[in-house]
Amino acid sequence: MAVGIFDSGLGGLTVYQGVRERLPDVPLVYFGDNAHAPYGVRDADDIYRLTTAAVERMWDHGCDLVILACNTASAAALRRMQENWVPRDKRVLGVFVPMIEALTERQWGDNSPPREVDVKHVALFATPATVASRAFQRELAFRAIGVDVEAQACGGVVDAIEEGDLILAEALVSSHVDALKRKMPQPDAAVLGCTHYPFMKDAFQKALGPDVQVFSQADIVAESLADYLVRRPQMIGAGGTAKCLTTGDPQKVSARATQFLRQPMVFETA
């Protein structure tokens, strides 16, 4: 009955932790493609190839439902996967839609025409590949009108987090927020469009100021998944063992994950 959670590296652990707290009885298989991280600087075809390979491995571990807890994969590969590749008895879901539903205060499955919402100026912080895809703006346009989105590609932040250099990561966050503010001085809300970025949420909030509401994905995606499984319990797969897998060095990844989550994490070779 395992559910899979995939990320290019460690960022998806924020979603993993949120889901584990919300659904403690559901075994989770976490797959980090650390050997190929970060995805945010790769082209769409490369991201698609790596993501489909990882998802196939997770199906082998009994995960009929896989969450792409990687905004870059969700932005650059998910639609193509859903349209042409995912079998009818499997599901692969992304993390953009739950975030946008929370931002626009629309319920899951609300297919009414797009309408005006309270937020008017949204800052999107994401990887270069996510920004280039414009997937966030496309999904938002299905649900809301009159929202100005200013996207900031945050080069270097994921690399610094993956290396455990949080001092560098904080400096980079400050620099990227300054660049965003030159384009949009007073955002109403900020979206952390990479699951690595919640590790630096306090740094984003500090740089943005207390009046900007910062949306990160862990709790939002966890609640959306819980709702999804109530409606589609058949999508809980056959796997019954929780495990964490990596294409990288298991000892190094385990140490980094333990540092970030502040609890023991043990990764196996995928």
- Contacts of residue 192, defined as CB under 8 A and 6 or more positions apart, other chains included, come to 125, 198, 201, 204, 214, 215, 216, 217
Q: Tokens 């945010």 appear where?
A: 40
Q: Which residues contact 130 (CB under 8 A, 6 or more apart)?
A: 40, 71, 72, 75, 76, 136, 193, 194
Would you say the C-alpha torsion 95, 100, 103, 106 has a positive or negative sign?
Answer: negative
Asked if 65 and 91 count as a contact pair (C-beta separation under 8 A), the reply is yes
Would residue 70 show up in a list of annotated catalytic residues for this protein? yes
> In angstroms, how far is CA 243 from the centroid of its own chain?
19
Does the annotation count 154 as an active-site position? no
- Cα separation of 28 and 56, whole Å? 16
* List 63, 70, 154, 244, catalytic entry: 70
Active-site hit among 63, 154, 194, 244: 194
Residues annotated catalytic, as ranges? 70, 194
